[in-house]
Each structure stands twice: as structure tokens, then as C-alpha cells.
Amino acid sequence: MIEFKTKLEPFARGFINCESDYFGKKCAAGWVQQAKEGNIKINMRTGLCTIDNDSVLFNYTGLWCFDELKDEFKDHPEDKEDLDIIAKEIEPWTQKHNLSRYLNDLESRNYCEGHITGGYWEGHAVPDFVDVCRYGTDYLREKIEANRALNPGKDDFYDSCILSMDVFDILGERYRNLAKEYLKNRTDPEEVEKLNTIIRTFDHAPQRPCRDFAEAVIVLVMVLCVDGNDSPGYFDQYMYDFWKVTDSDIRRKYLDAIWEYFHETRIWNLTIAGSDENWNDMSNDLTYAILDIVTEKKYQTPNLTARLHRNSPKKLIEAIYRSLATGCGLPGIYNDEAVCVALERLGIPPVDSHRYVMNGCNQIDIQGKSHMGLEDGEVIMAKAVEFTLFNGESGKTGNKLGLETGDPTTFESFDEFYDAFTKQMDYMINVIVGICNAAQKEQADNIPGPLRSVLIEGCLEKGLEYKNRGPIYGHGQILIQAFAETVDSLANIKKYVYDDKRYTMAEVVDAMHKDYVGYDEMYHTFKNSEMKFGNDIEYVDSIARDVMDHFNSELLKKPTYRGGFYSSGCSPFVNAPGAGRKLGTLPNGLKTDECLIADSIGATPGCDTHGPTALLNSCLSFDQTLPGSGFILNLKFDRAIFNSSEGEEVFESLLKSYFDRKGQMVTATVVSREELLDAQIHPEDHRDLIVRVGGYCDYFVNISKSLQENVIARTSHCGA
């Protein structure tokens, strides 16, 4: 036991003074010390209790900003001796988190190239946070001890789980005492009421269950705050029991309060509505209250997901439309008819598949039962075209990263070229799966999560951490970039090289090497070709179907380290321009260092010229019940048309048609081109202009110039 004089770094001091060598228990001891000494506060505007992560080394995952200690040395020279000890004691544990130690040479080379990425962060999770509100920590302790008795020899794991419950009890007592102190100097009736609500909440919670919506909101925010403000999940379902027993004025007040908290912390994703395993509609009064508050506030966060299905009531669709018509970009709309089927392909039974929630931007989890919403890795699919053209070499760097599938100038048919392409794509799948499984093992070894292990089913029962195969479902999700660019490139090769024989393969390869220098006519042909995905052209869509279905089917054969299987998704987030810069010259007319690529499963921005119905038909050419992660389709609608009776009718018709044919997801950016262009010139006049970017919303003026250009270039749909 080290006797520290400093009051800095309570987490680190608790971690170091824990006598166990079990990483999870040391982290839990650190969180306990942080709960005892860290800064806490009551937001008098909302009446909610939060913590300040004032310790540099405080992190719920056990991953630390170690280098920031150097700044603390400068700011607190009087504590240098203790901070030196902390640095010395902590550093060996930080060295363990190093993905490169788990990769082979091939995986390392591809990873460094950047067209295949994985394991670069710890990922999202959606535990049953509400269990602390619903059952209380006393009940959860009993559950921990009951499972300890069934799994002898795992005491350190179960000790860490008990300590994580202590964190909430300590904070609850501190919040109650702080509220009492605040109350001494408050006379405003509204503030007095908020403080008294906190006091009555923590008179019995979190040890015992919450009794109404106000108490549940206060405790839930505390839990989310400790956990790191990840995705709350199926909010309108698990909070409804509290909602329905609470006075309407009080529950609306606390819904408003937690929504402000969600917005200010930019919490990741809430899910509402949906169906049960018998296709009964699950929307309720809270569902509509949430949509009302989104429509009223017009915030771009928190990310909101609405689930629809065959029995969704018309009034729900109308409420969703009203929210989207404000231009806030929310909610994203998912189709149970596609998502549940995809999850059932992975062996998840309907009773659980119909409980799916969105995590992060649009990754899919089964709340409280899985650890699979991780966006484990990403593949820039169009690199497989490069590897085929250059016999395994990157067109961007010249490095040998793919297979040697032969000199393409000797290929006598498109089938031969396509066969080489699929071999390159399969090779990339094997590489990314290797990287992702290495990352999963590294995280299982080095990133503990006792709190999440308590709140995700399977972990306590097995005595295993939530990252180490504890949860019931451990599937994986690999995201696709540059799909449309892949399809357009293959379509141009098929048409202009093999069908029309307008160019030889040797000319195409040379043009790609030279970035079209000396090949202006070919460049304009490829760039302006009608063979573009997103226009309901069977010639192109048949290629899209073959590519996407093959990729998705191959992934489903690949096991994860966590004990499940992989499936795909498409969630470019802010990464689309960066992915574009990883590509070399392509036969779709993309030049090196250009970055305008598709930011969803749809067309390259501006290339879908035949209307929204044609775009949806193209996206339905492949099977959207194969991917088990969110398959984003971003649509842009003209504000004037969307906000009309005709626009509402068109949108609802498009949505119904797409979902009836098992399209998985759509988002809507409602804006005018003129607004976007003026916002680039006069950003100060458009601070509240919101657009969809990948799987989330953001203010247009806050995103990068390259992302702005991507949004502007998207086709704006004004009718069917």
C-alpha cells in the first residue's frame, strides 16, 4: 500500500493500491476511489447528477491518456514525486494494449496501408443500464454472489463486479448529501423541487429499485455517466413501466431533462418503436413523446432510431415524417422485416432478434445480451479492383498487398476478370477477419469491463468479461466503403473493354497507372458513363448484386474470436473522404487523391440521375437480409417539396415500397441546395443547418470541407 500525499488521480491511486493482479479488479478499485473523491455536480437546470472525469487516468475501459500526465507534472510540481510513482506503476499496464503484437506481417502491412482497418478502438456496447434502476444494486449483488458460487476459482472477476456496484452506491450517497447542501441556500420553488427529488431518489436508490420516471431518469443518467455515455438503447421500452406510473407533468419535465443531457453529452443512439417476435407493434405513449420532443427541439443529437414493420401504425409514420420535415435528420428509420431476418441468419432467435437496438451510428446489438455492435473493421472494397488491375499491387502506393491473380491484359472475358476480382475480395475478407480477431483477442486480454459484465447477460453466468466471450451473442460487424465505386468500375470494364471493345485492357491499366494523363477521352467516357449504380439499370445492378451478395455470404462463414460470426454493414461515419484518398485511379473516372465517394450503400454522390425510385430499386438488387449491421441509405430531399402534402405522400410511398421489399434502412436530409452553398460562404448564418453524415447527424458548418462537398453533390430528390 502506497501512502500518497497528492489528492490528484484518485483512479490511479485506487488502481495501484489494489493488491490483486487482476486487471479488471484493479480498474474497479480505481473507479471506487474515483467515485469517493472525484468531482460531482448537480445541474440545476435539468436536476440531474453527473461526474467530472477530472482524473487524467480515469477511463471506464482501462485505456488511459497516459501522455497527459506530463502536462499534470508541469501544472502541479508540488505533486511531482507522487505523480512519478503513479506513472511508473501505471505504465506497464498501458503497454499491454498494443494491437501490433497480435498481427502477422501480412495483416500489419495491410493495416498500415489503411484500406483495411480494424481494432483501432474498443467499440460500443448496450448493456441493460436500466437494471440498476429496475432492480437496484442490492439485487445485482445477490446475482453476482449466486453466480460466484457456480463458478469457483473466479473470485477476482466477481470481486470486480461487486466493486462496480459499490461505485453507484458511493455516488448515490454523495449526490444525496450534495443536494442537501444545495438545499440550504435555495429558495426558488422549482430548484427546491429538483433537489428534493434527488434526495428522495437516493434515500433508497440505487440499492433498491426506482419508483417512478423521475427517479429512474436520475439513476439512469448516473449509470450512463459512469459507463462513458454510450448508447442508451431501447429507451421507450425499458423506461415505459416508470413512465406510465408517473404524473404527466413530472414525466414530461424529466424527459426534457434527460434529452438535454443526451444532447449535451452527444450520447450515441436511442431506439424506439419496433415489433415483438409475433409482429405486435411495440410503440407506446413514450414513443410519441420522444418524437414530439425531437420535433420541438430540432437537435442533431442524440442519434435516434425508429423501427418500423408490417404492423406499424400510420400515426407513427406520420410522427416520424413531422420530425424529419424539421430538417433535424432524425430519426433514422430501420425495417424489422430485414434486420430481424439478418439477425436470425446468425442464429439469434426471434424473441431476441426483435429486441435489437442500434449502437453508435448504426451498429446492431441485442441490448443486455450481446457484444457485437463494434464496427470491428472496415474494408475499402474498391481496392479489390486495383489489386485485380495491378496483379496484387496497390494502385495508390504500388505495394504488394493483394493476391497475384495474373496479368489482366491476358484475360479474355469479363468473367475471367470478375473471377480474379472475387479472389482479391475474398483475400481482403480473410485479411480483415484476421485483423479483427486479433483485435478481439487483444481486447479480451487487456480491456476489462466489470460494470458491463454485470449488465450483459451471460457474463456473470460464465464468469467471463464482456469482451472475453461472456455475452450470449458475440458476432462481429465489418463495414464496407466504396461499394458504388467498385460496381461502377466493374460495369465500365465490362462494357467498354469486353462488350464494346472500345479500349483494350492494356490501355486501361496504363491509364490507371498514369492517372488518366494522356487518356482524356477514356477519362470522360468512364466519368460520364451511363453505367452508374443507382439508376435501376440491370446491366449495372446485376454486377452490384453479385458483388454484394458474394461479400456478405463469405463474411457469414467467418467466425469471430468472441464466439459468433461476421456480417457486414455500411456506416461510413466521417470516413468517406478519407477512404477516397486511400484509393488510386479507378475505371469509374475517379482520379488519385479525389475523395468524392459514396457515403452509404447508395450511388456515388450525383450519379443517381433517374430519381429516388430508381435508386431504391438498385439498392434492392442485392439481398439486404444478409448484412447484420446497419445498411445505411442516405437520401436528400428538397426542403420545399418535402414540406408539402405531395412530399409527405411521396416519402411515405417510397418508404413503404422500399421496406415491403426488405430494404433495411433509410435516412433523410431535408435541405435545399441553395442553403448548403450559402452555408459554405456564410457559415455564421447557418449554424443550425443539419445534414446526415454516414449514420449520424451533424451541423453542416461543423463538418469538413470534403464532407460538405459530399453532401452538396448528393442528388436532391423532389418526386418519385
Tens digits of residue pLDDT in 613-659: 999 999 999 999 999 998 999 888 888 888 888 888 989 999 999 99
- Phi then psi for residue 307, to 5 deg, are -100, 130
**Whether residue 717 has pLDDT greater than 70:** no
Q: How far apart are CA 616 and CA 152, in angstroms?
A: 55
Q: What is the pLDDT of residues 315-325, one digit of tens each?
A: 999 999 999 99
Q: Supply the pLDDT for residue 642.
A: 87
* Mean of pLDDT values over 442-456: 91
Q: Which amino acid would we find at residue 627? A: P
- Alpha helices (H) along 556-601: 576-582
Report the pLDDT value the prediction gives residue 101, as an integer from 0 to 100.
Answer: 75
Residue 678 has pLDDT above 80, yes or no: yes
Higher-confidence position of 659 and 228: 659
Which amino acid belongs to residue 211? R
Which residues are CB-neighbours of 270 under 8 A, at least 6 positions away? 231, 232, 233, 235, 262, 290, 302, 303, 304, 305
Tell me what the mean pLDDT of segment 414-421 comes to.
98
**What does residue 63 show for φ and ψ, rounded to 5 degrees?**
-100, 130
Task: Supply the pLDDT for residue 720.
Answer: 47
Choice among 69-73, 175-179, 706-710 with the minimum mean pLDDT = 69-73
Mean pLDDT of 503-515: 98
Residue 119 has what pLDDT? 67
The span from the CA of 35 to the CA of 51, in Å, is 9
Please tell me which of 334-338, 612-616, 681-685 the model is most confident about, judged by mean pLDDT: 334-338
Percentage of the chain beyond pLDDT 70 is 95
pLDDT over 80 at 264, yes or no = yes
Mean pLDDT computed over 182-200:
96
- Reply yes or no on whether the pLDDT at 193 is more than 70: yes
Burial label, 252 (beta-carbon count in 10 A; 0-12, 13-18, 19+) = middle
Q: Assess whether pLDDT exceeds 80 at residue 273.
A: yes
- So what's the pLDDT on residue 67? 66
Q: What is the mean pLDDT of residues 680-687?
A: 86
The pTM of the full predicted model, rounded to 2 decimals, is 0.93
The residues facing 637 across adjacent strands are 670, 717
Angstrom distances, CA of residue 232 to CA of 261, 271, 521, 560: 12, 8, 53, 25
Q: Which amino acid is at 676?
A: L
Q: What confidence tens digit (pLDDT) does each residue in 88-142 have?
A: 898 888 777 777 778 888 888 887 888 888 766 677 889 999 999 999 999 999 9
Kindly state the cell numbers that stand for 169.
452506491
Q: How far is CA 476 from the centre of its chain?
A: 13
pLDDT of residue 165: 98
C-alpha cell at 421: 476480382
Phi, psi of 117 (to 5 degrees): -135, 155
Most confident of 28-37, 396-405, 436-445, 518-527: 518-527
> What letter would DSSP give residue 620?
T
DSSP string of 243-282? HTTS-HHHHHHHHHHHHHHHHHHT--EEEEE-B-TT--B-
State residue 697's pLDDT score.
Answer: 74
The owner of cell 417510397 is 654
Mean pLDDT to the nearest integer, 421-429: 97
Kindly state the average pLDDT of the residues 9-21: 93
Paired strand residues for 670: 637
Residue with cell 430540432: 298
Rama region for 563: left / alpha / beta (φ>0; ψ in -120 to 50; rest): left
CB atoms within 10 A of CB 95: 10
DSSP 515: T
Span between the terminal Cα atoms of the chain, in Å = 71
Span 504-517, mean pLDDT? 98
712 band by pLDDT with thresholds 50, 70 and 90: confident
Mean pLDDT of 707-714: 79
User: CB of 567 within 8 A of CB of 628?
Assistant: yes
Nearest to 364 by CA among 621, 567, 668, 666: 567
The answer, yes or no, to whether residue 62 has pLDDT greater than 60, is: no
In this predicted structure, what is the pLDDT of residue 471?
Answer: 97
Residue tagged 439512469 (cell numbers): 220
Whole-number percent of the chain with pLDDT over 90: 72
- The answer, yes or no, to whether residue 479 has pLDDT greater than 50, is yes
Q: Return mean pLDDT, the chain.
A: 92
User: Is the predicted pLDDT of residue 457 greater than 70, yes or no?
Assistant: yes
Tell me, what's the pLDDT at 644?
Answer: 86
Query: In this predicted model, which residue has the larger pLDDT, 45 or 122?
Result: 45
Does residue 60 register a pLDDT over 60?
no
In the prediction, which pLDDT does 56 show?
59
Domain spans of the chain, in order of start:
10-104
Q: How far apart are CA 618 and CA 604, in angstroms?
A: 13
Q: How many alpha carbons lie under 13 Å from residue 668 in its C-beta half-sphere?
A: 30
Q: What is the pLDDT of residue 715?
A: 67
The amino acid sitting at 703 is I
DSSP 209: -
| Confidence (pLDDT) at 117 | 80
- Tell me 371's DSSP state: -
